[in-house]
C-alpha cells in the first residue's frame, strides 16, 4: 500500500495532538468496523473563530494523519468554514489516501462536526447544517470509494 509523503509526515509528526482543558466543544466519533476512535477539542472565541484545536486519535496511521491535517485546516477559521470541511478535502490535502483508507478521513470530518455540535448544544445555538447530519455513515462512504 502506497502512502503519500504528506500522510507519512502527518503520521510521524502529528500537528495539534493533545487535549484542551475546558474546551468549547468536544467531539468523539468511532468507526464500528475498524474500532478506531477520534476525539477533537475546539476552543472557540466569542466571534465564533476557532482559536485552537487539538485531537486524540486511537487508530490507524491514516486516521492520525487525517486528524492532524483536519486540525490544521480548521485552526483560525470560522465555525462556518469548519463546517465545510469534507473528508475529500482532508484526503486531498494529504495528497490522497488509498481507497480502503478513505473512511479514516471520514472520521476526521465527523469528529470536527461532532465537536461543533457539542459547542452548539453548550451554547444553545442551532447549526442548521448539523441538524440532519449522519454521524454513523462511515461505511457508506467506504463503499462509495470501492
Catalytic residues: 34, 104
| Among the listed residues 146, 81, 135, the one whose alpha carbon sits nearest the alpha carbon of residue 108 | 135
The DSSP symbol for 26 reads E
Asked whether position 59 contacts ligand FES by CB under 6 A, the answer is yes
Q: Of 17, 34, 49, 89, which lies in the binding site for ligand FES, with binding defined by CB under 6 A?
A: 34
Asked whether position 17 contacts ligand FES by CB under 6 A, the answer is no
* DSSP per position, 73-111: HHTT-BHHHHHT--HHHHHHHTT---GGGHHHHHHHHHH
Residue 24 or 57 having the CB closest to ligand FES: 57
Min dist CB 98 to ligand FES, Å, is 10
Asked whether position 90 contacts ligand FES by CB under 6 A, the answer is no
Distance CA 99, CA 125 (A): 36
Q: Of 107, 108, 112, 115, which lies in the binding site for ligand FES, with binding defined by CB under 6 A?
A: 107
Distance CA 64, CA 57 (A): 6
Residue numbers of the site for ligand FES (CB under 6 A)?
Answer: 31, 34, 36, 59-60, 62-63, 101, 103-104, 107
Amino acid at each position: 500500500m502506497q502512502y503519500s509523503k504528506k500522510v507519512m509526515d502527518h503520521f510521524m509528526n502529528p500537528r495539534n495532538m493533545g487535549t484542551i482543558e475546558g474546551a468549547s466543544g468536544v467531539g468523539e466519533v468511532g468507526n464500528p468496523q475498524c474500532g478506531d476512535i477520534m476525539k477533537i477539542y475546539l476552543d472557540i472565541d466569542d466571534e465564533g473563530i476557532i482559536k485552537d484545536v487539538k485531537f486524540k486519535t486511537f487508530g490507524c496511521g491514516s486516521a492520525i494523519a487525517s486528524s492532524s491535517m483536519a486540525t490544521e485546516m480548521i485552526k483560525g477559521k470560522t465555525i462556518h468554514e469548519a463546517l465545510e470541511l469534507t473528508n475529500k478535502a482532508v484526503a486531498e490535502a494529504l495528497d490522497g489516501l488509498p481507497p480502503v483508507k478513505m473512511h479514516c478521513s471520514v472520521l476526521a470530518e465527523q469528529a470536527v462536526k461532532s465537536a461543533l455540535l457539542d459547542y452548539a448544544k453548550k451554547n444553545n445555538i442551532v447549526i442548521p447544517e448539523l441538524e440532519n447530519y449522519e454521524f454513523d455513515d462511515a461505511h457508506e462512504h467506504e463503499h462509495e470509494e470501492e
